[in-house]
Structure 1
């Protein structure tokens, strides 16, 4: 009888131990120290959902930029005389809708405020208000198939592109650093963001939808004037709609408790090349060659291949960190509102 009792006790003890092991979960304390950035860690965009599983990446064949036939772009020339210029802008405004004018100005790296800077506008024969038909970037990049989000800024053509798992989802104009204050180039990652930042160069400069990509240098993308050439103090200027879109799309870094070190990096960003200072504006070349600004698949692939290992390594690290944050936040939600406890 005594032996049976001992056996039952041992079995009961073993059962309890196994239950305790199976229920044990690791939690991690997360301290979000940068304002306006915490929400992007968990509130990911639809594009980041697991449409492409990590272990079964769907690769698509690379596709070059959309090719246009000769004569696709025409010149809308404005005289220097102010009265004549005003008259022609009146004609321009009547000929095209607001969305069409926006697209034409964007192709010429201009915003509405700075349209008066134009002496010549490059105008496509067919207006695509999404701009995708005129993309200088490849429509598909096989090398980026496993990369969920990727942003590229081209200094030579003053344009940016956004890829999701290798597919180009957006592109647009930018105004990068002037010759005396060039934008830093190379692979970097999105850091912190602020909906309205104040420039450290001048407190008069308000920077809507600022997203930092070089923390120590204070360089980031944000909305500001697009005058039709590189004019910034090293930042990457965008149209307001584009700045808003990228503000929501890109992921911020995740900091360790205390905020002194980075736990996980944000969206990878590649800034490359240099501008043809003193030469003809690149988009004006479209009048002679409608594909003059196109960046080839081979050129893009070569730049990305040398960085792809690091990009994927940081992406995997970020996924693990975000998963741990989600797990830690889910534990309190599983507790009842008023759990019953025993008196010690």
Structure 2
């Protein structure tokens, strides 16, 4: 009997041990599975992040790769035209045949447009290594404008001119609508054009420069009397080259000369009663490298300014612009009310006698 009890107890003990071992094994396997899944999730997450980084790197490098390919193509085809989506490279200086083809292909009007897009005057066409040429010529020059056609925050401003240092161009707005744009060459690195808000003051058809009395400035309109800064006609080599002034093509300088308002001084000419047309000069230029308009072949919108971008640039100056506008409107109204009435015209019948 005792022997049977001992055997039975031993059997139950072994069964209990086996069950515990099995239970422990299952629990260990479940924990291992959870760890494995956690590690897999981490690996998957790392892989996703790595793939995302690779994709971002690929996207960021597309422009650089495309630019490098174009530059390589230009080198290997030094004497041929390279055509992009909207613009083409014409290597003018190193190729006599292409230079002749250029002048035979494009009209005087088209050459003027090409020069303006390259921020030069037509006299400098032959001096350029390469020209940016549009593949299709638009109906009007304003259609090439990098400035937005309409700005909401200046709809109540009758006249304003905006000069952009980065793209070396100016835009003219009347009540928020773009009416004209054109190229400019502003102050060189050593004598940069000051930035900020200015108002036109005095003008002169032909003005002798204070820097060199041999320089005659045609259609000069001053915007900073003490600083001696203004716009006028002068040579446009295609980069900032002036002694702080705003160089323009002759036709553009003449147009702005007649369009903008002069200041009004007191009788003793010591005090400004009314300021002229507001002028904003803004932005920075990367000196030592070609202007960004040379990248139009790779990126046709490289010089394009967005509406929100330009409105943000104008916004800090609006209070002063409206303040000076109110002063001018009051002056004009007072001048109109105080204007003496003209005598009525006496009509005399013609006589043969």
Query: Bigger shift: 130-139 or 94-103?
Result: 130-139
Deviation at 1:336, TM superposition (A): 9.7
Name the structure 1 match of 2:320.
310
For the pair shown, which has the larger CA radius of gyration, 1 or 2? 2
Note the C-alpha offset of 1:179: 0.4
* Divergent runs of 4+, >4 A: 334-337
When the two structures are superposed, what TM-score results if normalisation uses the length of structure 1? 0.73
SS of residue in 1 equivalent to 2:158? coil
Change (3 A) 1:110 1:198: same
Residue 92 of structure 2: which of 64, 75, 78 is its match?
78
Distance 2:242 2:217 in 1: 12
5 Å-filtered alignment, 1:44-83, equals 71-80=85-94
Q: Classify 1:121/1:261 alpha carbon distance in 2 versus 1 (closer, same or farther; 3 Å).
A: same
After superposition, residues 123-272 of structure 1 pair within 5 angstroms as 123-128=133-138, 130-272=140-282
Deviation at 1:147?
0.4
Aligned to 1:333: 342
TM-score (norm 2): 0.72
1:333 CA displacement: 2.4
Deviations 1:133-178 (A, max 9, x none): 2111111000010000010000001000000000111000000000
Size of the aligned set, in residue pairs, is 263
Q: Which has the higher helix share?
A: 2
Once residues 125 and 335 of structure 1 are traced to their aligned partners in structure 2, the CA distance between those partners, rounded to angstroms, is 60
Match of 1:119 in 2: 129
CA change 1:159–1:129 in 2 (3 A) is farther
Q: Secondary structure at the match of 1:161?
A: strand
RMSD: 1.7
Q: Which residue of 2 aligns with 1:298?
A: 308
SS at match of 2:230: strand
What is the rounded CA distance, in whole Å, between the counterparts of 2:187 and 2:222 in structure 1?
15
8 Å contact 1:103–1:128 — kept in the other structure?
no
Where does the alignment leave 5 or more consecutive residues of structure 1 unmatched? 1-69, 338-344
Q: Give SS of 1:306's match.
A: helix
1:103/1:130 contact within 8 Å kept: no
- Cα displacement (A) at 1:332: 5.2
CA distance in 1, matches of 2:198, 2:231: 13
Task: Give, in angstroms, the shift of residue 325 of structure 1.
Answer: 2.2
